[in-house]
Amino acid sequence: MSKLKQLITELCPKGVEYVPLWSVTIWDKKFNAVERYKQPIVENYQYLLANDLFAMETVNGNVFLLSTGERTGWTTEDIAGDYLKEGEVVTLPWGKSRAVIDCIKYYKGKFVTADNRIATSNNPDRLLNKFLYYWMMSQGSIIDTFYRGSGIKHPNMAKVLDMKIPVPPLEVQCEIVRILDNFTNLTAELTAELTAELTARKKQYEYYRDALLNFDTLTTPPNG
C-alpha cells in the first residue's frame, strides 16, 4: 500500500479525474435508451443461450465459456466455430437472478459468450480493462439497483453508462490491479486449502459416525 500512496501523492496531487463510463468504454451493442453520441463505436458479439453454450463444453478446451452465471467451462475452436471471439473483456449479465457481484467477469483470451453485456476500454493506455473490472466489482451493489423486472431482471444500461469512474494515471491503475490480483490469488489458495480440509474433516466425521453407530461392530467381542 505504501507504494500506491506514494504514486498517488506524486501523480495525483490534485486528486483523481472522474469521467462517465460511456466516455472510456466500448460495449457490445447500441442501447435504446442511450444517446448515440455516447456510443460512437460498438463491438458486436454473437451470444448463445446457456443451454447451447454448455452444450459446447468439452475437456481440454482452450476457449472459455463466458456464461452469465457462476458456472463456466471450456470448449475448442472447432466446436466454437463462428461464435469464437478473442479479446480482453469485462461482462455484465443481461439477465440475472442473483447479486451482480457474483456474475461480473473479466477474461482475456479466446471465448464464446452467453447473453452478457460486454465492455472493453476504448483506450487501454488510459484505462486498463482489469482496472475497469475491479471498479465494476466495487460498484456491484449500485449496479444491482439498475436491474428491473420480476424473476430474471435486466439492467438499465443508460444508468450503467452514466456512472462516474475514476481514471487515475496508468501507473496507479497498474499498482491497484497488482494488489487486488494478489488478494484474489491468496483468496483462491485459501479457499482451495479450506475446501480440502473440509473434505478431509467430512470424511473423518463420516467414518466415526458410521463406526460409532455400527453396534454390531462395537458389541463384537475381541478376537471373536
Domain residue extents for the chain: 1-16+169-224, 17-167
Lay out the sheet containing 105-113: strands in order across.
25-27, 116-121, 85-93, 105-113, 63-66, 73-75
- Region class of 98: left (phi > 0), else alpha (psi between -120 and 50), else beta: beta
Instruction: Tell me the fold of 17-167.
Output: Adenine-n6-DNA-methyltransferase TaqI; Chain A, domain 2 (3.90.220)
How many whole angstroms separate alpha carbon 104 and alpha carbon 95? 12
- What pLDDT, in 10s, does the model give residues 31-73? 988 999 999 999 999 999 999 999 999 999 999 999 999 899 9
Residue 190's φ and ψ, nearest 5 degrees, are -65, -40
Q: Which helix (H) or strand (E) holds 133?
A: helix 129-138
Among the ranges 153-157, 160-164, 177-181, which has the highest mean pLDDT value? 160-164
Q: Which one, of 132, 138, 136, 139, lies nearest residue 108 by Cα?
A: 132
- Predicted structure pTM score: 0.84
How many Å apart are CA 147 and CA 92, to the nearest integer? 11
Spatial separation of the C-alpha atoms in residues 193 and 189, rounded to whole Å? 6
| pLDDT higher than threshold 70 for residue 4 | yes
